[in-house]
A and B are shown apart, each in its own frame.
Chain A
């Protein structure tokens, strides 16, 4: 079996290598058969990597400890679901998973473009195959998932207990999907540069891929935060650890990219900037893998140090140099006559939104790399922790939220001061009112007050936008408001999907501010029957109970929670002991409400005297972070939804353009 996986990976590498000259020579000489053969090679590569994946999965499910990977990351007592997720629990498996996603996305791109983008798509596929070759070479020669053990152990060392959690089961795949799908717009950007087709067709072609990538980066970050919150037991969800930063930076750059491409589509500006952004986003996905795998930066999560670091760094530098050279080579073709006309214009708001996002990304990058830089320059390793990131990001985030509210209120090109006052009036009143209410309610921290006011300002803006859209429809067609709202969103799904995402961002922002500024913590050691209070809650500890399975030992404490004398919940935080890994773990009890989360950790216990020590956090508004994440996901789905009008428009431009595109069938059916 393992031999089959090995063989499949070797074949996949050969197929990927073959596809590049086939694609390029085929498109250069106008040989459709050769291009088709390259396409088939990519599909075959995808099949091969899939086989390798299935082989490793089979090994995990059958607890085949002759495979080094299975022996290191699984055990016979591991629940089946975690045997499946152990595929991305370790380095070789996660690289294989990454390569698998890349091969699937390449296959889809090959399918999508089999009859369109005939000049640019082969180049884009060649770029993707180039990336696939790097990963396949790693899997074939450097970090082999099918390495065999000569001494077959009777039992595996088990998956890290911290990873035996459902959020950890879905966090890496989401993040990897986000990372890997960023390759598609990158590949098309590079192909556009090479083929000198520098209009916005590469952006339009990959728009959904970019949103798709952003969607999974968002989910990946949120799932990771949720995992940290539920599993790590420190009451927080984000610690600015290098690994988290590595996932956050591509998200920031992708967010900037999604905004700035709109200016290019609208105003034919910022062409160089957009190409640079997508290059950065792709580079950061590799950089993320590099810093987590190389041990260059000490992280709490630092994985087993491995020899992968130099390869990734080399690949990253190679890509960066090539891409920059390409960009400089074409820079004259990317000049456009259009320029910014006024600060009071939508494009200016977008420009500053981009600057702030990239500013945050840069600060995060700088802070993450600071230990390495300071050691190189001054010979002393100096680190910056969460306080650094909070201090830099907090004010920039306020600016970003302000722009999020202001952008939609400003017209393209320029706005007159009078228009401005008119459109800003309602949202500003909204924001000021919210701020005053919060102040009256006893909130006196200036940052939180500003933050909540701005949040209300943004919500006000979005409300105004929806209202305006609905009433504009009302003038054209007679329909009930609810129906008008649905039609409005359906007809302009990209725009209103974007607004829904903004609502989600505001919710998450409120949650972050609330939980960062108003968290309280109580630590108490109590005997059975004793109680203590946390905020409005009284917690009565009623004793310990222990339980044992072949996989794990559990000691659970029971607490009865009352509020104003009324019982509201029973909470049972626990300590677990995983037998195979010889490792304790914490099971936190959380009672979540929109107002605040009660978060109870069993910090220590003495079974003989039945005393227990609890660490309890009362964290306001955390709920809104997860709700905001859900709303963002919803908005993204709306924005990604196929839009009939847009398809017709693309089809029309394709039809009206160069001779190489024979895209007629869809154009005919797509028009309305």
Chain B
């Protein structure tokens, strides 16, 4: 029995170490994953926090300067069905949008009007997000713009 107990302790220690690593790492690295609506509704409390925001590129708003690698665009909410947001926008009727600015990264190939994006970064002023990373969802199936 004591021999068995010794092993139970050893196994327990390893498991505790894994659990400790997981909890501390979660505390120090977690980010809010929000939708455009949620960010706009809670922007004062979210200022300066590290965020991950899901939304869609508003058509005609992409500005890209290849010389300085500066990318700007406006993000709009995903259509209701795919959103799942529980927080309602503050002012009904007000456009729920915010600007995204990303500096120093190449423009993602998949970034285009109406594409779904996930933006990581911090709010610098309300309605303006300084992005450290712009991720475009890459659907395996294409639904190109019909007008094109």
Contact = CB atoms under 8 A, between A and B. Distances in A.
A582 B142 CA distance: 10
Contacts of A383: 30-33, 52
Contact of B3 (A340, A359, A374, A581): A340
A339 B29 contact: no
Interface stretch (A207-215, A300-308, A439-447, A490-498): A300-308
Contact of B145 (A351, A582, A612): A582
A73 interface: yes
Contacts of A298: 33, 54, 118, 137
Contacts of B29: 384-385, 387-388, 391
Interface stretch (B15-23, B89-97, B123-131): B15-23
A47 interface: no
A153 to B, nearest CB: 12
Contacts of B10: 343, 352
B141 A613 contact: no
B80 interface: no
Nearest to B104: A523
Residue of A606, A612, A613 with most chain B CB atoms under a 10 A cut-off: A613
Interface string B1-31: 0011011001100110110011011101111
B29 to A, nearest CB: 4
A366 B69 contact: no
B144 A606 contact: no
A576 B133 CA distance: 22
A525 B67 contact: yes
B42 to A, nearest CB: 10
Contacts of B142: 72, 157-158, 160, 581, 583
B137 A388 contact: no
Contacts of A601: 106
A384 B30 contact: yes
A395 to B, nearest CB: 7
Contacts of A355: 11, 14-15
Interface string A143-172: 000000000000001101111000000000
B137 A300 contact: yes
B108 to A, nearest CB: 9
B141 to A, nearest CB: 5
Nearest to B25: A391
A381 B139 contact: no
B140 interface: yes
Contacts of A348: 7
B69 A604 contact: yes
Q: Is the interface of A mostly helix, strand, loop or mixed?
A: mixed
B88 interface: no
A89 B139 CA distance: 11
B120 A302 contact: no
Interface string A610-629: 01110100000000000000
B131 to A, nearest CB: 14
A388 B25 contact: yes
Nearest to B66: A604
Interface string A286-305: 00000000000011111111
A482 to B, nearest CB: 42
A380 B14 CA distance: 30
A382 interface: yes
Interface in A345-399: 348, 351-352, 355-356, 359, 362-363, 366-367, 370-371, 374, 379-385, 387-388, 391-392, 395-396
B140 A382 contact: no
B17 to A, nearest CB: 8
Interface in B106-138: 106-107, 109-110, 118, 120, 135-138
A508 to B, nearest CB: 22
A355 B10 CA distance: 10
Given A381-B32, A381-B33, A396 B26 contact: no
A581 B140 contact: no
Contacts of B138: 160, 162, 300-301
Interface in A555-610: 581-586, 601, 603-606
Given A303-B140, A582-B148, A583-B142, A381 B69 contact: no
Interface in B18-66: 18, 21-22, 24-26, 28-34, 52, 54, 64-66
Contact of B136 (A300, A303, A387): A300
Interface string A223-255: 000000000010000000000000000000000
Interface residues of A, number: 67
Contacts of B17: 359
A341 interface: yes
A356 B14 contact: yes
A163 B140 contact: yes
A384 B21 CA distance: 13
A303 B141 CA distance: 7
Contacts of A584: 109
Nearest to A163: B140
A423 interface: no
A51 to B, nearest CB: 25
Contact of A157 (B28, B68, B86, B144): B144
Given A90-B140, A339-B3, A382 B30 contact: yes
A91 interface: yes
Nearest to A341: B3
Contacts of A303: 139-141
Interface in A441-473: none
A606 B67 contact: yes
Contact of A382 (B21, B33, B136): B33
A247 to B, nearest CB: 15
A367 B105 CA distance: 26
Contact of A379 (B15, B28, B86, B105): B86
Contacts of B110: 583
Contacts of A160: 138-142
Contacts of B34: 381
Nearest to A601: B106
Nearest to B35: A381
A370 B52 CA distance: 14
B67 A611 contact: yes
Interface of B: 3-4, 6-7, 10-11, 14-15, 17-18, 21-22, 24-26, 28-34, 52, 54, 64-69, 82, 86, 104-107, 109-110, 118, 120, 135-145, 148
Interface of A: 72-73, 89-91, 157-158, 160-163, 233, 298-305, 339-341, 343, 348, 351-352, 355-356, 359, 362-363, 366-367, 370-371, 374, 379-385, 387-388, 391-392, 395-396, 523, 525, 581-586, 601, 603-606, 611-613, 615
19 contacts: A72-B141, A91-B140, A160-B139, A160-B140, A299-B137, A300-B136, A302-B139, A362-B22, A383-B30, A383-B31, A384-B25, A391-B28, A392-B22, A525-B66, A584-B109, A586-B106, A611-B66, A613-B106, A615-B106
Given A339-B3, A367-B22, A388-B26, 7 more contacts: A160-B140, A300-B135, A355-B14, A363-B21, A382-B30, A383-B52, A611-B67
